[in-house]
Amino acid sequence: MLPELIVFAKKPIYAQDVNSKTSDKLRLFAILLVFALCSSIILLILASVIQHIFNIEVGEHAIDDLFNNNSEIKIFFLAVIVAPFFEELIFRGPLIFFKNSKYFPIVLYIFTIAFGLVHISNFELTTQVLLLSPLLVAPQISVGFLLGYIRVKFGLFWSMALHACYNMVLIIPLLLVKLLDIPLE
């Protein structure tokens, strides 16, 4: 799996796999989900360590506002249904138009980086946040790459499903904390 991802990263091509059985697709899906979660956790820890070492304040995260002003059901719906659907349409959907283009690798990486950079809006925009933006959105960029990979390999539905499952795994613990009124401080 990892060697295949490395080959794709070095030279992305739009080659849809129409021969794989559903069980093989689900296996790759599960591997990519674990990969996405692990890479995000590692990158978040790295960003947190750097913020702590250099005493960098990035302000309040948009998730705080989302949780303070919405019901658990609405948060779940937005994070697991709405965001994956629209973000995949916007950032992975157009890849089909570059399927046979020599510019496909460039387009894939532009959409991957754009996907990550859009998430900088989750932070209070300050000079520090803008300077640290590559680090702060590195988890989204890495996940965006994996979403691009599964989209190219199996289709847009699969990237939407992976995005939804990724968000769900991250949001459910936070929803449980909110639902059970567990203090985090």
Q: What residue segments make up the domains of the chain, in order of their start?
A: 22-179
Closest among 175, 168, 176 to 36, alpha carbons compared: 168
pLDDT digit string (tens) for 137-180? Answer: 999 999 999 999 999 999 999 999 999 999 999 999 999 998 89
pLDDT digit string (tens) for 23-47? Answer: 999 999 999 999 999 999 999 999 8
Q: Using CA atoms, how far apart are residues 33 and 127, in angstroms rounded to an integer? A: 33
Is residue 123 classed as helix, strand or coil in its secondary structure?
A: strand
pLDDT computed for residue 36 by the predictor: 98
Rounded to 5, what percent of the chain is helix, strand, coil?
A: 80, 0, 20
Q: Does the structure show a pLDDT above 80 at 184? A: no
For the chain, the average pLDDT equals 94
Query: Any residues with CB less than 8 A from the CB of 160 and at least 6 apart, and which?
Result: 84, 85, 88
Beta bridge partners of 123: 61
pLDDT bin (cut points 50, 70, 90) of residue 185 is low
Q: Using CA atoms, how far apart are residues 148 and 182, in angstroms rounded to an integer? A: 36
pLDDT digit string (tens) for 98-138? Answer: 999 999 999 999 999 999 999 999 988 888 888 889 999 99
Q: Using CA atoms, how far apart are residues 66 and 122, in angstroms rounded to an integer? A: 10
Range scoring the smallest mean pLDDT among 71-75, 126-130, 180-184: 180-184
